[in-house]
Amino acid sequence: MAARAEPFSPSAVVSRGRVSSWLTTVDHKRIGILYIATSLAFFAAGGILALLMRAQLATPNEHFIRRDSYDELFTIHGTTMVFLVVVPILAGFGNYLVPLMIGARDVAFPRLNALSYWLFLLGGIILYSSWFAAGGAAKTGWTIYAPLNEAAYSPGHGVDLLILSLHVLTLASLFGAINFLVTIHRMRTAGMTWMRMPLFVWAIETYSVLLVAALPALSGGLTLLLLDRQAGTHFFIPDKGGSALLWQHVFWFFGHPEVYIMVLPAMGMISEILPVFSRKPIFGYKAVALSTIGIAFISMLVWAHHMFAVGLPGYLQGFFMITSMAVAVPTGVKIFNWLATTWRGNIHFDTPMLFALGFIAIFTIGGLSGVAVAAYPFDWQVTDTYYIVAHLHYVLFGGSIFGVFAGLYYWWPKMFGRMLDERLGKVNFWLMFVGMNLTFFPMHMLGLLGMPRRIYTYSQGGLWEWYNLVSTIGSVVMALGIAVFFVNVVKTARSGQRVGNDPWVADTLEWYTTSPPPPHNFDRVPYVSSPRPLRDLRRRLAESRA
C-alpha cells in the first residue's frame, strides 16, 4: 500500500525545472495533459492532411496532389486519427480523470504510466518520420491490406516504419490499459462500489478491457507482416501458400473493437456532462453502465462485417449481420436514456453541453447508417465507397471528437483553473457542427452514386463534382471551428476567467478538490454513498445550514 501511494519522485533539482519537471513527471495529471496536448498536435497534423485531400477532390481531374502522395495522405490521416488522436486523447482524459473521479492519489503504476506516454510520443514520431523514408510513407490505407502490404507491392520502408510505429503504439496502449484496470479495480475510495462509479470510469474500464483483448491480435498480425517483409516468410502471400484474407480477419478482429475503444469513453463523457447541465441525475444509471459492457461484448463478435464483399459463406454473413445489428440495441438504450436525462431538466447551454447535444444529434445518424451497412446485401453496394467514409466520420468525428471537445470544455477549468472562453466556445461549436455535416453528409450520396474510397481523382462532373465541392467547403468551415478552439486556448491561458473548485456545480469527486488539483489530489476524500457524492455533500451542507 505504501509503495503505491508514494509515486516515484526524481531528485528535487530535476523536478523543479520548468521543462524538466514535465519531462520527468509521473503525476497522472501532468501525464494526462501531455497526452491531450500531444494528441491535439497530431489532430492538427492529421486535419491538415485531410484538408489537402479535400482540396484535391474539390473538382474533377485535379492535379493539386500527385497520386502517390494522395495515397500517403489518406494512409497517414487514418492512422493518425485512430492511433495518435482519438485513442491517446481518451487515454489522456482517463489519466487525468480516473484517479480524481475515484478519489485516488494517482494511478496504480505511475512510472509505467509515464512509459506509456513516452512510447506514444515515440510511436507518433516514427510514423511522421516515415514521410522521409526511402519510398516515402506507407501508401496502403490505414487497413494495410494484404498482399498490397508485402514487399513486392509496397517496396521501400514506409510500411516497415508503419509497422514499427504501430508496434510501439500498441505497447503504449496496452500498458495504459493495464494501468487503468488495476487502478479502477484496486484504488477506489471508501464507499465507491461498482454501481457508484462515475459512468466515465465505467467507460474507461470497458475501454481498457477491450484494448487488452483486441490489441494483441494487431501486434500478432503486424509481427507476421514484418516477418513476411523482412525475413522471407509468406503468411499473407497466396502465391506461396499464405492467405491474403487472414490479414483481414486479424486486422478487423482488432479493428472493430477499436471502433468502440474510440467511442465508449466519449460516450462516458456525454453521460457525465448531460446530467450536470440538465440538473438531473442520469436516467437509468445501471442501464447506461450495462449497455457499455453490452456494446463492448458484442463488438468482439462483429469484425467480419468489414469483409462482406470478400466472398464469405452465406451463413457467416448472416451471423455477422445479426451481431452487428445487435450493437444498435445497447447503443439505442444509451441514446434514449440520454434524451430522458434532459427531459424536464433545467438545461444550461454552456459549450460542453452544446457539444454533448451535438454528439447525440450526429452520432444518431452514424448509428443508423451503421444498421444499414450491417445488412450485407446493401453493404455489397456501399462498402469501400464514400458512404462508408461518411458513416465512419459520423461515428468517429461526430461521436468521438465531439465527445472529446465536450470533455475539453468541461474539464478545462479543472485542469488549468481557468474557464475556456464561452463566446469563442460557441463559435467553435457551431462552426464544427455545421462544417461537420456539410463535409460528411454529401459523402453518403457520393457513395450511393458510385464513388469508391481512396481514389485520388474522378472525372465525373455533375453531382459528383457538386457534392465533392460542398464537402470541401464544409471541411474548411470545420477547420475554422477547430482553429477557433486553438485561439480560445491561447486567449484563456492569458486572460481566462479564474474559477473555483466546482464551476459547473457538478456531481463527481474531481470537483471536490482545487482547480487545478494539488499533486496529491485530495487532502481527504468524502465517503461515497451514491454515484453523485458532490451533490450529496451539497445537500448535507444545505441541511446543516437550515
Partner 1 sequence: MRRLLPVFVCVALLALVCAGGALAGNGGFAPAAPASPNEGGIRSVYWLILGFTGFIFLIVETALVVFVLRFRSRGRSREVEGPQVTGHTNLELAWTAGPVLILAVIAAFVFYKVGGIRNATAVTGGTQTVRIEGHQFYWEFVYPNGAISINTLRVPLQRKIKLDIVSADVAHSWWVPVLGGKLDAIPGQTNRESFRATKLGTFRGQCAEFCGIQHAAMLAYVKVLPPDEYDAWVQRRLQSPSEVGRETFQGVCATCHGLAGQGDIGPPIAQSPLLTDRNAMTLLLRNGRNKMPAVGRTWSDAQLKALLDYLQKRFHAGGGSGG
Which positions from 37 through 96 interact with partner 1, judged by CB under 8 A? Answer: 67-68, 71
Rg for the chain, CA atoms, rounded: 23
Interface characters, 139-178, with partner 1 (x: CB under 8 A): xxx---xxxx----x-------------------------
Neighbours of 45 (CB within 10 A): 19
* Long-range Cβ contacts of 514-517 (<8 Å, 24+ apart): 514/417, 515/413, 515/414, 515/415, 515/416, 515/417, 516/29, 516/414, 516/415, 516/416, 516/417, 517/29, 517/100, 517/414
**Which of residues 190 and 372 has its CB atom nearest to partner 1 in the complex?**
372
Is the peptide bond prior to 516 cis by the omega test (within 30 degrees of 0)? yes
Q: Binding to partner 1 by residue 6, rule CB under 8 A?
A: no
What residues from 273 to 312 belong to the interface with partner 1 (CB under 8 A)? 278-287, 309-311
Show contacts with partner 1 in window 309-338 (CB under 8 A): 309-311, 314, 318, 321-322, 325-326, 328-329, 332-333, 335-337
Distance in angstroms (rounded) separating the CA atoms of residues 313 and 319: 10
Q: Are 159 and 247 in contact (CB under 8 A)?
A: no
505 is a contact residue toward partner 1 (CB under 8 A): yes
Name residue 206's amino acid.
T
Nearer to partner 1, 230 or 381 (CB): 381
Cell numbers representing residue 364 in the block: 444518431
Binding to partner 1 in span 99-138, by CB under 8 A? none
List the interface residues with partner 1, window 373-392 (CB under 8 A): 375-385
Identify residue 99 by its one-letter amino acid code. P
The answer to the question of residue 439 lying near partner 1 (CB under 8 A) is no
- Quick count: other Cβ atoms within 10 Å of Cβ 1? 6
Binding partner 1 (rule: CB under 8 A), the pick from 437, 439, 468, 475 is 437
Q: Does 251 bind partner 1 (CB under 8 A)?
A: no
CA angle 101, 105, 111 (to 5 degrees): 110
Does 516 interact with partner 1 (rule: CB under 8 A)? no
Q: CB nearer to partner 1: give 99 or 275.
A: 275
- Selected from 16, 185, 344, 498, the binder of partner 1 by CB under 8 A is 344
Q: DSSP labels for 445-462?
A: HHHHHT-BSS-S-----H
Our finding on whether 430 is near partner 1 (CB under 8 A) is yes
Using CB under 8 A as the binding rule, whether residue 446 contacts partner 1 is answered as yes
The single residue among 190, 339, 490, 541 that binds partner 1, judged by CB under 8 A, is 339
> Which of 202, 444, 488, 489 contacts partner 1 by CB under 8 A?
444
Contact status: 453 vs partner 1 (CB under 8 A): yes
* Whole-number Å distance between alpha carbons of 534 and 333: 26
The footprint of partner 1 on this chain (CB under 8 A) covers a number of residues equal to 101
Using the contact rule CB under 8 A, the part of the chain among 118-126, 202-210, 458-466, 520-528 near partner 1 is 458-466
